[in-house]
Amino acid sequence: MLNISNTSISKEIYSRGFNSFKKVSDKRSGNRIIYFILAFTIVFGACLFLPWTQNIRAKGYLSTLSPQQKPQAVQSVISGRLEEWFVREGDLVAKGDTIAYISEVKSDYFDPELVNRTDEQVRAKAGSADGYRAKANSLKEQYRALEAARDLKREQITNKMMQTRVKIESDSIDLIAFQTDADIAKKQLDRTQELFDKGLKSLTQLEEKRVKYQQTQAKVRVQQNKVINLRNELGVLKLETSAVDREYADKLAKSESDRFSALTAELNAEAETSKLKNQLSNYTLRQDLYYIKAPQAGFITKTIKKGIGEIIKEGADIMTIVPDKYDFAVEIYVEPYDLPLLSIGNEVRLQFDGWPAFIFSGWPNTATGTFPGKVVAIDRFISDNGKYRILIAPEEDGKEWPELLRMGSGAEAFILLKRVPLWYEIWRQLNGFPADFYTEGLESEDVKKKAPLRSVK
């Protein structure tokens, strides 16, 4: 009561029956409020200096680090008509298990005996190549025989030429002897003629000398003709040598040409054989491709082609298979202005969908239900959503991730950064600044707490 009026009603009111009047009239109640406010202020001020771990929050999903452990589509290498399924969705298959069977749709491969007929063509063409090879070998032997015959002919002509030269030399000596005899006979005839003219020799003696001289002259002429004939024969032999060389050169050239033609035909036959073998191998492998097999062990999760009789194009997806064993990793996306704060090896706390957690993002040690991880990969190029992709793997010595996690389930990541006072974190959040850029190796007074500017959106 203010007690402004001279008339007081305090005596008419029973104030002791009301607690509010007791507290108003109690002078110590005001001191209690002051003490409470002072204590709260001290406790709040002390809390402002508690350490706070800065972090970057981002959402993502479970994936894997190894490309071969990610869900993959099973495709058909060739086009075909779907004839039979051997699996159902949810089945666990091993690597190489048959999933489906398709039949041929291209007219080039309709023949059921295509492989056998192609194999016959391969054998026939290989036999043709062997025949050409044998012909080439025979022509090679023929070439050698012609060379031997040419050499023998040359040797025979050379021997004849040597014999002719010996005869020419021998007959030339005889010719000289005959010429000497003719000269002697001429001199005897001249002396006998002289003596006959003087009457010292008879006519008979003169005629005898004349006959002898004529005989020696005849022998000289015969011997000269013989030498000339031998020399002509030697010239003929030389010409015969040239003729033999030309004759056998033509024969050898023809034989060599035939051999090269046979070798060319052999190579062409071998090329055709290789081509047919390639076709045979392709046909054989194509028949194996009618059975679509599992590329790896895993679960059949989604069949894209369903009905029997559907036409499957080559390279088209048929179903999806999820590997039965994989190493988990969390794939998250962060803003570009947070990217400079991250590096390989940053500690991360993860919360998975379906696993309840009690989280204090600034005090990760007090959080429950979270799982540890570390940054193992940072993309070098921005993604289509305007953010950078980060991969997080489990800590080797940390708490193991749940075994019941499934590929693609959601996760929330808390990437732990620098530890700062709580008051500084509150001030940073109120001003909309990103977390501090922390560089190892700088002294504490050199670390600027001025936050980098946000990118303009």
Residue range 333-388, pLDDT digits in tens: 988 877 877 888 888 888 888 887 666 555 566 567 788 889 999 998 888 888 99
Which residues of the chain are in CATH 2.40.50.100 domains?
A: 72-104+290-323
Q: What is the mean pLDDT of residues 316-328?
A: 85
3-state secondary structure of 246: helix
% of the chain surpassing 70 pLDDT? 79
Residue whose entry in the numeric block shows the structure tokens 């398709």: 102
- What pLDDT shows up at residue 331? 92
Instruction: Please tell us whether the domain made up of 51-67+326-446 is placed in CATH 2.40.30.170.
Output: yes
Closest CA to 220 of 174, 169, 178: 178
Distances (CA, A) of 139 to 12, 17, 127, 244, 269: 151, 142, 18, 20, 18
Cα first-last separation, the chain: 62
Close Cβ partners of 368 (under 8 Å, ≥ 6 residues apart): 357, 358
Rounded to two decimals, what is the model's pTM? Answer: 0.54
- What value does the mean pLDDT take over residues 404-422? 78
Tokens of residue 44, six digits: 């709040």
The rounded distance, in Å, linking the Cα atoms of 248 and 254 is 10
Task: Return the H-helix or E-strand segment holding 80.
Answer: strand 80-85
> How confident is the model at residue 389, as a pLDDT?
92
Measured between alpha carbons, how far is residue 292 from residues 92, 231, 284, 286, 384 in Å?
16, 92, 15, 11, 34
Q: For the purposes of burial, counting CB atoms within 10 Å of the CB of 251, is it exposed (0-12), middle (13-18) or buried (19 or more)? A: middle
- DSSP-derived 3-state class of residue 377: strand
Q: How far apart are CA 97 and CA 292, in angstroms?
A: 8
Q: Are 364 and 132 in contact (CB under 8 A)?
A: no
Please name the residues in contact with 435: beta carbons below 8 A apart, sequence gap of 6 or more.
54, 55, 56, 338, 341, 417, 418, 428, 451
Backbone angles phi, psi at 137, to 5 degrees: -65, -40
| pLDDT(442) > 70 | no
For residue 242, CA distances in Å to 152, 153, 251, 315 come to 14, 11, 14, 73
Q: CA 155 to CA 163: how far, in whole Å?
A: 12
pLDDT single digits (tens) 61-101: 998 888 888 888 898 888 888 888 898 888 899 998 999 99
- Between the alpha carbon of residue 177 and those of residues 3, 205, 308, the distances in Å are 194, 24, 118
| Residue 447 reports pLDDT greater than 50 | no
Residues 145 and 139: their CA atoms lie apart, in Å, by 10
**What does the alpha-carbon distance between residue 280 and residue 311 come to, in Å, rounded to a whole number?**
25
Reported as a single tens digit per residue, the pLDDT across 217-267 is 888 888 888 888 888 888 888 888 888 888 888 888 888 899 899 899 989
Instruction: Return d(Cα 96, Cα 98) in angstroms, integer.
Output: 6
- Give residue 333's pLDDT: 92
> Could you give the residue range(s) of every CATH 2.40.30.170 domain in the chain?
51-67+326-446
How far apart, in whole angstroms, are the C-alpha atoms of residue 128 and residue 269? 7
Q: Is 99 in contact with 86 (CB distance < 8 Å)?
A: yes
Strands (E), 337-398: 347-352, 371-378, 388-394
Range of lowest pLDDT (53-57, 255-259, 352-356, 423-427):
423-427
Q: Give the 3-state secondary structure of residue 373.
A: strand
Pair 210, 185: CB distance under 8 Å: no
Of 395, 444, 393, which Cα lies nearest the Cα of 418?
Answer: 444
What's the mean pLDDT when you consider all of the chain? Answer: 80
Rounded to whole angstroms, the Cα distance separating 236 from 229 reads: 10
Task: Return the pLDDT at 330.
Answer: 92
For 114-288, give the CATH class: mainly alpha
CB 374 within 8 A of CB 395: yes
Residue 164 pLDDT exceeds 80: yes
Which architecture, in CATH terms, is 72-104+290-323?
Beta Barrel (2.40)
**Distance in angstroms (rounded) separating the CA atoms of residues 298 and 167:** 103
